[in-house]
């Protein structure tokens, strides 16, 4: 009887180590999405003008397929603004693509505040990988905007 109990205890201990080993095995890391050829603002100047067209371009590559692409304009920590303001756009048009050139023009909303903001690009893929890239963006009222040369 004692021998049976000892064998049972031994097998229980061995099986618990085997179970732990399987639980701790890491799944292979999926490659993070990447962004290349990023352009933010006209002439890539990281400037937006309230009520005016804003240029955004990025070449996106994911290991699987794209779920969506987002941009967020959020207040920057430590900055002071005349009013609370943030903006978010999600593009689902790239869903199921392996890679994409996101070339978008959108208007900086007329209710935007002037100031320095974080421009955050988020790429979500269908494998659950996510890339979040933070860049600078300065938003001006049209009357306060610097002269921006237009390249031909």
The full set of domains in the chain, from first to last, is 34-144 (2.60.40.10)
* Tens of each residue's pLDDT in the chain, 152 residues: 566 555 555 545 555 555 444 444 444 556 889 999 999 998 899 999 999 999 999 999 999 999 999 999 999 999 999 999 999 999 999 999 999 999 999 999 999 999 999 999 999 999 999 999 999 999 999 999 987 655 54
Structure confidence by residue, pLDDT tens digits, 72-102: 999 999 999 999 999 999 999 999 999 999 9
Inter-residue contact 140 to 114 (CB < 8 Å): yes
Give me the pLDDT at residue 42, please.
Answer: 87
State the pTM of this model. 0.77
Q: For residues 71 and 54, what is the distance between their CA atoms, to the nearest angstrom? A: 12
Nearest Cα residue to 135 out of 122, 144, 148, 150 = 122
């Amino acid at each position: 009887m004692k021998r049976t109990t000892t064998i049972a205890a031994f097998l229980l201990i061995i099986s618990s180590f085997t179970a732990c080993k399987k639980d701790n095995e890491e799944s292979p890391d999926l490659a993070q999405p990447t962004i290349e050829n990023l352009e933010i603002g006209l002439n890539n100047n990281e400037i937006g003008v309230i009520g005016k067209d804003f240029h955004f371009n990025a070449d996106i590559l994911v290991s699987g397929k794209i779920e969506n692409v987002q941009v967020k304009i959020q207040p920057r920590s430590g900055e002071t603004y005349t009013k609370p303001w943030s903006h978010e756009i999600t593009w689902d048009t790239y869903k199921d693509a392996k890679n994409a050139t996101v070339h978008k023009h959108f208007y900086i909303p007329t209710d935007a505040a002037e100031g320095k903001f974080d421009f955050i690009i988020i790429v979500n893929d269908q494998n659950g990988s996510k890339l979040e890239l933070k860049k600078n963006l300065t938003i001006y009222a049209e009357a306060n905007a610097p002269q921006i040369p237009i390249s031909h």
